[in-house]
Amino acid sequence: MNVASDLQAVMDRFVDGYRAARPLSPAQQQVCRHIRNCRTEALGGLQFRCDRCGREVPQYHSCRDRHCPKCQYRATEDWCDKQLLSLLPVTYYHVVFTVPHTLNSWVQLHPEVIYNVLFEAVWATLKTFGADPKRLNGQLGMTAVLHTWGQNLGRHVHVHCLVPGGALGADDQWHPAKSTYLFPIRALSRYFRGRLVTLLRSSHRRGELDRITRAGEVDAKLDALMQSDLVVYSKSCLTETESIVRYLGRYTHRTAISDQRIIGIDNDRVEFAYKDYRDGQHKVLSLDGDEFLRRFLMHVLPKGMMRIRHYGFLANRYRKARLQQIRDCLNQPAETHAEENPASSNGCSSNDPYLCPKCRQGILVIVHAIAPKRLDGG
């Protein structure tokens, strides 16, 4: 096994041969380049020196690509800090809507169309149920996150939704949810199926699915889809603020595979850990390097695709005013959160990147900037 066992090491080992054998899209080429260059001389950085022991330490810039596992931990932390301001003192619900695997070939041909249709169908479903006078009779709020992968890196397109348990009614009152699963799962599944099929038919009529060239395929597949049950999952979450933020953070900036799951690179194979949800067991999967890259790269999102979206009273346009209105209904003052962690306010916490890694007492100060350096394969 190689000492370095992470996605960057996999890219360095296999990507040149992979792209020599098959074409990559511009987006895939960019992702490969970003991950290979992340936190290396290729991006430049800053040279630090300890003010106590004199040790010099280079720190290279990160690529900030949303597909890079090295960059997403910090992005998750920053995003969750902002979301603290939007949390309400109510029960939250985690709802997942899954695209059936029979549509995977369409996702391959028209990812941007299918993903946008999926978001639209999910929100139309929850919005309709929330507005139903027999249910919550008001406007829901929702944060939705698109995932396109399963644990084995296969294509498994689904949307994770975090929904505050209640709706803001036309009477300007908060209508709380009382069910442990928000809405009946079977009813959600059937309505979601109908909306998804309707939107896909509309996309087909507008010519947005033009890469599907087999005669009659669209109508036949959608007719069959209407006869099947779509997977919808729902459960309530803990109401503690920090628990909800951590729970949401697990999904928002997750990449198709984390560095921690990659066990090693052995000859021409990559081994990684995964959970088999069929039996609930944690297992190890070994894939040929090219197959590993093929699976990873099919989850590169189209350029400009927003994978995190907010709806209803959590939509960016209305969020601040609507949240304050809801808090007034709940007699809850607006939440305030410190921008800085008090434990690290002196700049010397154990997690502080500017603490000298050698003497653990001095502070690293900037000496000079490091210019980007072109690397082979970059």
In a domain, 272, yes or no: no
Q: How many domains does the chain have?
A: 1
| CB-count burial class (<10 Å; 0-12, 13-18, 19+) for 342 | exposed
In a domain, 17, yes or no: no
Query: Helix, strand or coil for residue 70?
Result: helix
Give the structural domain span for 237. Answer: 70-256+299-329
In a domain, 28, yes or no: no
How far is residue 243 from each of residues 138, 249, 264, measured CA to CA in Å?
26, 10, 32
Per-residue confidence in pLDDT tens, the chain, 378 aa: 444 689 999 999 999 999 999 899 999 999 999 999 999 999 999 999 999 899 998 999 999 999 998 887 777 777 777 777 788 888 889 899 999 999 999 999 999 999 999 999 999 999 999 999 999 999 999 999 999 999 999 999 999 998 999 999 999 999 999 888 899 999 999 999 999 999 999 999 999 999 999 999 999 999 999 999 999 999 888 655 566 666 667 777 778 999 999 999 988 999 999 999 888 899 999 999 999 999 999 999 998 899 999 999 999 898 999 999 999 999 876 554 444 443 333 333 334 567 888 888 889 999 999 999 876 554
In a domain, 30, yes or no: no
In a domain, 214, yes or no: yes
In a domain, 98, yes or no: yes
pTM for the model stands at 0.87
Instruction: Return the H-helix or E-strand segment holding 167.
Output: strand 166-168
Residue 201 φ then ψ, to 5°: -65, -40
DSSP 371: P
Q: Which residue has the tokens 């009477």?
A: 171
In a domain, 7, yes or no: no
* Contact call for residues 11 and 35 (beta carbons, < 8 A): yes
CA 354-355-358 angle, to 5 degrees, is 125
In a domain, 19, yes or no: no
